[in-house]
Amino acid sequence: MHSAPSAVTLTVILAVFSLFQLALILGAPLGQYVFGGQNKRLEGGQRILSLIAIVVAAAVSYAALTTVGVFSEEIHSTYVPDTGLVVAMWGFAAVVLYFMLTQLNSKSKAERTVMAPLSAVVLGLVSVVAFGL
């Protein structure tokens, strides 16, 4: 249960990230932070990707909190076996690493200076939870 603070911190960060994505979906002019800063307001396809990001963030939060024992054993074992949670966490770590590398190479300064470091923090937290440190 040592990684419980990391799982909770990860969940809080992903909740804020989800609110940010929701704001983008609703038309907030924050597009310089995502998708290479192509549009001030997201277009249709980008809004769908932001919605997918919210769903993924919720799933990762569930996996992280379940991995460290926040949810009861009955709920956990019914839906996802332990191995599945660890695989999910490492799969998410790979996705975050990919996005972090693309953010570091983004034409958007805002994406490079804000989102890439945020991705690095998320990657670290996911790794701590996945390793069970």
pLDDT in tens, 121-132: 999 999 998 887
Q: Using the predicted structure, report yes or no on whether residue 78 has a pLDDT greater than 60.
A: no
C-alpha 102, offset from chain centre: 15
Distance CA 12, CA 25 (A): 20
7, 129 contact by CB (below 8 A): yes
pLDDT in tens, 40-56: 999 999 999 999 999 99
125 phi and psi, to 5 degrees?
A: -65, -40
C-alpha 77, offset from chain centre: 23
What residue numbers bound the domain in which 74 lies?
A: 4-131
Task: Give the predicted TM-score (pTM) of the model.
Answer: 0.87
Domain count, the chain: 1
DSSP string, 27-86: T-S-GGGSGGG--SS--HHHHHHHHHHHHHHHHHHHHHHHHTT-S-HHHHHHH--HHHHH
